Chains A and B, each alone.
Chain A
Amino acid sequence: MAPSLFHVLIRTIRTARTQAEEREMIQKECAAIRSSFREEDNTYRCRNVAKLLYMHMLGYPAHFGQLECLKLIASQKFTDKRIGYLGAMLLLDERQDVHLLMTNCIKNDLNHSTQYVQGLALCTLGCMGSSEMCRDLAGEVEKLLKTSNSYLRKKAALCAVHVIRKVPELMEMFLPATKNLLNEKNHGVLHTSVVLLTEMCERSPDMLAHFRKLVPQLVRILKNLIMSGYSPEHDVSGISDPFLQVRILRLLRILGRNDDDSSEAMNDILAQVATNTETSKNVGNAILYETVLTIMDIKSESGLRVLAINILGRFLLNNDKNIRYVALTSLLKTVQTDHNAVQRHRSTIVDCLKDLDVSIKRRAMELSFALVNGNNVRGMMKELLYFLDSCEPEFKADCASGIFLAAEKYAPSKRWHIDTIMRVLTTAGSYVRDDAVPNLIQLITNSVEMHAYTVQRLYKAILGDYSQQPLVQVASWCIGEYGDLLVSGQCEEEEPIQVTEDEVLDILESILISNMSASVTRGYALTAIMKLSTRFTCTVNRIKKVVSIYGSSIDVELQQRAVEYNALFKKYDHMRPALLERMPVMEKKQNDFIVKCNKDTGAGGSMLNLQKSLCLDVMEMTSVMLRMVSRFCKSPDHYFFSAGIPSITAYNKNGLKIDFTFERSNTNPSVTVITIQASNSTELDMTDFVFQAAVPKTFQLQLLSPSSSVIPAFNSGTITQVIKVLNPQKQQLRMRIKLTYNHKGSAMQDLAEVNNFPPQSWQ
């Protein structure tokens, strides 16, 4: 009996009312198909595989059809081949064992007499051919790249692109065939040729140099497209072949980058496209967008750059959300290099903070932080604080960090600074990053004249609600430090409040007891209580009592502290005042981080990058003190430990060796510090050495200045450079590095992946 017709099956399956019913139908049909396959029935194979593919789309397994696809491809019938190749593309990717069995069929079909069969083969190879298959068939593709049949030529070009992506070493063999590609009139061939050239130029600096000479021709083609009359076949809303225009613009970008002559040669056409393209529809804006990207990337003259930024500015005012989105993304890329030009659009950007679209909001936020400077800080902070108040939770941590950074850099007054910090802590107190707490403490310590005001405000903030941990930690610490100012009502900046020592101890004890308090927070509270023993006069006994109670706390940290503080009361009482004395103003170590952040990390996220992780763990310091019984007067530097983390050789090629050594911060477990050492075992120096690194999206990277740019020969010296990696999600560390240097008279460049990071460096 003939198997059911293809469309009948679809119709039947669609009548199923439940998932179970559908599954039953499918199982029945699959069984029928399987037995039909077993009977090796050529007639119905095509129909059955088609049905199988439909069921595969519904989510059911179809692997038993793999071999059938191969048989269909090998068949002489075009109908069979069509479905066979479709099945292959859906079921036979390179991970399947039988994938390679296709190779011979594809090879034959690449030489078939019917162009549509050749087309099927080219398409399949170009979509999913494995590296081996590409190696085997590259020669055939290269042949077809030279055919005069434009239908095949365009497909061969994209097939070549795929081959190059899979097997980059084969790129050279396609070079001769590229000779006349741009002379074609056929838009399909032109388009795919440009794609092929783009791929080659991106992968090889030699190819890039070789193809620079095409710039005039590309400019001409683009000009013709713009000036030519209406062509119905390629027209989109009055614009001639926007796809080709964009790809040419992109290729021009690659060719013009870092090259003055090429950039000069394309200057006029870019200006022309930028000014003449119709902007009423999306398609025109797509071209303008690409033009802007190209202008910003090549060595364009300043007039052109201003033109580009203005286009983006207009985009920002467009009603279409997509256009605004794109504008913000681009402005983010250029804000470092064209800062002043972007500043002009600041108010529009700030308006975008109120947009409904989450992606637009995020970009507007990052851009806003990048635009904050000494002149606009008050106004900008107002907007950003409002944003912090109302934005989605996913933004709050980044926004808070950004505000802290910006405030620190540009605060017009200490009072304003403290107020801003307070505002963030009270608005988004639970989203503030852990490493912000030591930072803030240091800031407060150094704002000597604001101590009374600060402690009063913090006290008031936690009175009603002590659930936001970072806020509570900072507040506890301040109360411990400046509790005497609090009870004596010394505040000048605002109306001093009346509060007794007992009331202060009440709140600190509540924090200690509360279920909401993290262990760290409790530690802060206990230490604060202890410190008040030298600042309060009436409640010392109460403090002694509290401290002794916690000497038997289940929490080991707390217990240790309490025991040590107890010891202070009992055996070392004469030292207590000195040990618990007011903190002196602390020197800022490594505040060059912030400046580096802005310069080294380019677009947008500068304010949100790695913050100072100042070690200010008072509890640790106190116990160190007690053990050594010595007077502490200066905050220790970062605690870093490198013990036990093995170094790795990240790169070792052509005489250049790069080793990584690791350090971890014990106050901020998300930070890993990598020191690279580059050495040169060849007999000639390597000069103009530049090391660049990139990490996956969830990480952040900070590259400090290298020790020099010359690696002397014969391993007689090294270049060292420090990389700081922030890994808040504790993901496996991966890195791509790019090395450029001059050696033996030629420019060298290499890219490599570093995957051998020891687990201790990121876990």
Chain B
Amino acid sequence: TVRVSWPCGGCSGRLRQQTWKIHFILLFSRQGKLRLQKWYTTLPDKEKKKIVREIVQIILARHQKTSSFVDWKDLKLVYKRYASLYFCCAIEDQDNELLTLEVVHRYVELLDRYFGNVCELDIIFNFEKAYFILDEFIIGGEVQDTSKRSAVKAIEDSDMLQEVRLRKTKGKHLIFLHLPCLTGA
């Protein structure tokens, strides 16, 4: 991507059309284990792996007293640690970093609402749910709903639609149990 500042009065200056989408979202533990990766751009698998390694290293090395923003290539990384999980969003250089922190926070809130006192184990054992919730919140790198309730409600309604009945075990971990399909198929 190419970017320059223009001399015109007051113009913050971009040459190419500005898109403000999120480029990718990564969740990883303090040991650097990846828990979720959502890419809103197309890249070869090898490239993605390289990027993840690089970024995990950069962020884990960050001092506690630094800002939540890292200039990385053409993008900006916005990250925040919640308990044992790092949430990292890659945004365009000209995007609003402070708002992105709110986006990250909202995602955590949605996870919390769904799982109830969400912890890293929930994300590990129910990673597909973490993705489903994310996909109700963000599409194509843009926020689709700003309501706290509706995203979780949609997931819960979808859960009810599943032919394979889910049953909560002790604690919060859901398992797939194969029960006879309700439609008899």
Residue positions of A touching B, CB distance < 8 A: 2, 5-7, 10-11, 14, 43, 46-47, 50, 53-54, 57-59, 76-79, 82-83, 86, 89, 93-95, 114, 116, 119, 122-123, 126-128, 151, 154-155, 158-159, 161-162, 165, 187-188, 191-192, 195, 198-199, 202-203, 232-234, 236, 241-244, 246, 250, 257, 282-283, 285-286, 289-290, 293, 296-300, 305, 321-326, 333-334, 336-337, 356-360, 599-604, 692-697, 701, 734-736, 738, 751
Asked whether B6 lies within 8 Å of A602 as measured between CB atoms, the reply is yes
Asked whether B97 lies within 8 Å of A326 as measured between CB atoms, the reply is yes
7 pairs of A and B residues whose beta carbons are closest in the complex: A602-B5, A286-B98, A694-B4, A694-B15, A188-B145, A321-B67, A357-B66
Asked whether B16 lies within 8 Å of A7 as measured between CB atoms, the reply is no
**A232 to B150 CA separation, bound complex (whole angstroms):** 12
| Partner of A286 from B11, B18, B101, B185 at Cβ < 8 Å | B101
Report the nearest A residue to B147, measured CB to CB: A233
Task: Say yes or no for B116: interface residue by CB 8 A criterion.
Answer: no
| Partner of A325 from B97, B127, B128, B139 at Cβ < 8 Å | B97
A283: chain B residues within 8 A (beta carbon): 98, 102
Shortest distance from the beta carbon of A592 to any chain B beta carbon, whole Å: 16
**A260 to B145 CA separation, bound complex (whole angstroms):** 33
Task: Say yes or no for B69: interface residue by CB 8 A criterion.
Answer: yes
A165: chain B residues within 8 A (beta carbon): 19, 140
0/1 string, B27-51, CB within 8 A of A gives 1:
0000000111101101010000100
Asked whether B65 lies within 8 Å of A321 as measured between CB atoms, the reply is yes
B147: chain A residues within 8 A (beta carbon): 187-188, 233-234
**A6 to B15 CA separation, bound complex (whole angstroms):** 49
**A128 to B39 CA separation, bound complex (whole angstroms):** 9
| Partner of B37 from A57, A126, A600, A692 at Cβ < 8 Å | A57
**A617 to B147 CA separation, bound complex (whole angstroms):** 67
Asked whether B40 lies within 8 Å of A298 as measured between CB atoms, the reply is no
Task: Say yes or no for B119: interface residue by CB 8 A criterion.
Answer: no
Apart from A191-B146, A701-B4, A751-B15, what 15 extra A-B contacts exist at CB < 8 Å? A59-B34, A78-B162, A89-B131, A116-B161, A128-B40, A242-B99, A243-B99, A246-B96, A257-B11, A321-B67, A356-B65, A604-B5, A692-B6, A697-B73, A736-B2
Asked whether B144 lies within 8 Å of A246 as measured between CB atoms, the reply is no
B66: chain A residues within 8 A (beta carbon): 321, 356-359
The binding surface of chain B is classed by DSSP as loop
Asked whether B3 lies within 8 Å of A697 as measured between CB atoms, the reply is yes
**A356 to B64 CA separation, bound complex (whole angstroms):** 10
Residue positions of B touching A, CB distance < 8 A: 1-7, 9-13, 15-20, 34-37, 39-40, 42, 44, 49, 63, 65-71, 73-74, 96-99, 101-103, 106, 124-125, 127-128, 131-132, 135-136, 139-140, 142-150, 154, 157-158, 161-164, 173, 175-178, 181, 185
A236: chain B residues within 8 A (beta carbon): 102, 106
Asked whether A10 lies within 8 Å of B124 as measured between CB atoms, the reply is yes
**A122 to B154 CA separation, bound complex (whole angstroms):** 14
A694: chain B residues within 8 A (beta carbon): 2-4, 15-16
Asked whether A734 lies within 8 Å of B12 as measured between CB atoms, the reply is no
Shortest distance from the beta carbon of A607 to any chain B beta carbon, whole Å: 14
Asked whether B145 lies within 8 Å of A191 as measured between CB atoms, the reply is yes
B173: chain A residues within 8 A (beta carbon): 7
| Partner of A59 from B49, B69, B135, B185 at Cβ < 8 Å | B49
Asked whether B140 lies within 8 Å of A159 as measured between CB atoms, the reply is yes
**A321 to B78 CA separation, bound complex (whole angstroms):** 13
Known: A78-B163, A154-B144, A602-B6. A86 touches B149 (CB 8 A): no
B146: chain A residues within 8 A (beta carbon): 187-188, 191, 234, 241, 243-244
A94: chain B residues within 8 A (beta carbon): 42
Asked whether A6 lies within 8 Å of B176 as measured between CB atoms, the reply is yes
Some 25 contacts from A to B, beta carbons below 8 A apart, are A53-B128, A57-B37, A77-B181, A77-B185, A78-B158, A86-B132, A95-B42, A127-B40, A158-B140, A158-B142, A241-B146, A242-B99, A257-B11, A289-B99, A305-B10, A321-B66, A321-B68, A322-B68, A337-B10, A356-B63, A356-B66, A357-B66, A360-B67, A693-B15, A695-B2
Asked whether B148 lies within 8 Å of A233 as measured between CB atoms, the reply is yes
Report the nearest B residue to A61, measured CB to CB: B45
Interface centre among B49, B97, B103, B175 (most CB of A within 10 A): B97
Asked whether B2 lies within 8 Å of A282 as measured between CB atoms, the reply is no
| Partner of B99 from A161, A257, A290, A701 at Cβ < 8 Å | A290
A123: chain B residues within 8 A (beta carbon): 135, 139
Shortest distance from the beta carbon of A441 to any chain B beta carbon, whole Å: 32
Asked whether A127 lies within 8 Å of B140 as measured between CB atoms, the reply is yes
| Partner of A359 from B3, B4, B39, B70 at Cβ < 8 Å | B70
Asked whether B67 lies within 8 Å of A57 as measured between CB atoms, the reply is no
**A320 to B115 CA separation, bound complex (whole angstroms):** 31
Known: A191-B144, A234-B147, A322-B101. A155 touches B139 (CB 8 A): yes
| Partner of B7 from A50, A293, A602, A693 at Cβ < 8 Å | A602
Interface centre among A77, A290, A300 (most CB of B within 10 A): A77
A199: chain B residues within 8 A (beta carbon): 19
**A244 to B148 CA separation, bound complex (whole angstroms):** 13
| Partner of B127 from A57, A151, A161, A244 at Cβ < 8 Å | A57
Asked whether A286 lies within 8 Å of B74 as measured between CB atoms, the reply is no
Asked whether B67 lies within 8 Å of A359 as measured between CB atoms, the reply is yes
**A603 to B10 CA separation, bound complex (whole angstroms):** 10
Asked whether A128 lies within 8 Å of B67 as measured between CB atoms, the reply is no
**A59 to B32 CA separation, bound complex (whole angstroms):** 13
